[in-house]
């Protein structure tokens, strides 16, 4: 994130301890300086929970003006150069990482392959309307 000016050590400590907001306490897991010059300073911030605009609200509560936020990771998934509104398929390792983060076991490989041919080389496709029967293609 990019902030206007140089936050004091007291402001940064307050963010790591926790700031009371209307929705509850907001606490940054970590905040590290990442460069910048003049009035613009960049920081790497880690949130464990991200409610709507929580980062901006927390920094505003201690008197720090945020002028840019860039999400670079979501849990175990590195976003890289993914542009706003874009998507990409997850790797099997990323899927496993999300299951682990949620405290769940990943599905078995045979269960995870949606759309895989069934016995006899058939695919089952639903018409997607309520009460319709599945259509079998060969």
Each residue's pLDDT tens digit, 29-74: 999 999 888 789 999 998 887 777 888 999 999 999 999 988 888 8
Residue 46 lies in a domain: yes
Whichever domain contains 16, its CATH number is: 3.30.70.1560
Residue 80 lies in a domain: no
Residue 114 lies in a domain: no
Which is it for the CA torsion 77, 82, 84, 87, positive or negative?
A: negative
Query: What is the pLDDT, as a whole number, of residue 80?
Result: 86
Domain count of the fold of the chain: 1
The neighbour count for residue 50, using CB atoms within 10 Å, is 11
| Average confidence score pLDDT of the chain | 79
In order, the DSSP letters of 40-89 are EEEEEEEESS--TTHHHHHHHHTT-EEEE----EETTEE-TTPPTT---P
Residue 120 lies in a domain: no
pTM for this structure? 0.64
Domain limits for position 17: 2-70
Residue 60 lies in a domain: yes
Residue 12 lies in a domain: yes
pLDDT(120) > 60:
no
């Amino acid at each position: 994130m990019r902030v206007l000016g140089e936050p004091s050590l007291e402001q940064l400590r307050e963010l790591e301890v926790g700031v009371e907001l209307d929705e509850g306490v907001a606490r940054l897991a970590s905040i590290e300086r990442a460069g910048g010059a003049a009035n613009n300073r960049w920081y790497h911030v880690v949130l464990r929970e991200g409610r709507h605009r929580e980062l901006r609200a927390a920094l505003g509560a201690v008197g720090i003006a945020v002028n840019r936020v860039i999400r670079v990771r979501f849990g175990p998934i590195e976003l890289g150069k993914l542009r706003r509104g874009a998507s990409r398929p997850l790797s099997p390792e990323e899927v496993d990482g999300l299951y682990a983060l949620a405290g769940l076991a990943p599905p078995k490989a045979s269960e995870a392959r949606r759309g895989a041919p069934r016995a006899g080389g058939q695919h089952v496709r639903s018409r997607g309307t309520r009460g319709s029967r599945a259509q079998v293609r060969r």
